[in-house]
Amino acid sequence: MFEIEKTLVASSAHITRKDMATIHTLFPEMSGNCRLIDYEYGVIVHMLEGFDLSELGGLGLSDGILSLFIFTVSNGCIKLKIDCDGPKYDGFKIYEW
């Protein structure tokens, strides 16, 4: 049996520099419901079973990254890959780094 996981890939332009620092600082403490995987071009946020979007509200994240998380989860994806060369999507905020 194959195990296939859906991942949304998005440009890091959709998040702020502060968002990146916040997810690295606070996500490891989120009840074990989220795993960060750093790689050469960005980060993959793996939302494990029990991941709760409502936990993100009080972290001071930008509207841009919150929108990406909502879009990711609402489309049945369990991973959000934030990549410096990833696609920029219409309808999502763009931030200058």
* Domains of the chain by residue range: 7-83
Residue 16 has a pLDDT of 97
What pTM was computed for the model?
A: 0.89
Mean per-residue pLDDT for 38-65?
Answer: 90
User: Which of residues 80 and 58 earns the better pLDDT score?
Assistant: 80
Each residue's pLDDT tens digit, 3-51: 888 999 999 999 999 999 998 887 766 656 788 989 999 999 998 888 8
Provide the b/e sequence for 26-53 (b: ≥16 CB within 10 Å).
bbeebeeebeeeeeeebbbbbbeeebee
31 versus 79: the higher-pLDDT residue is 79
Residue with tokens 């991941």: 51
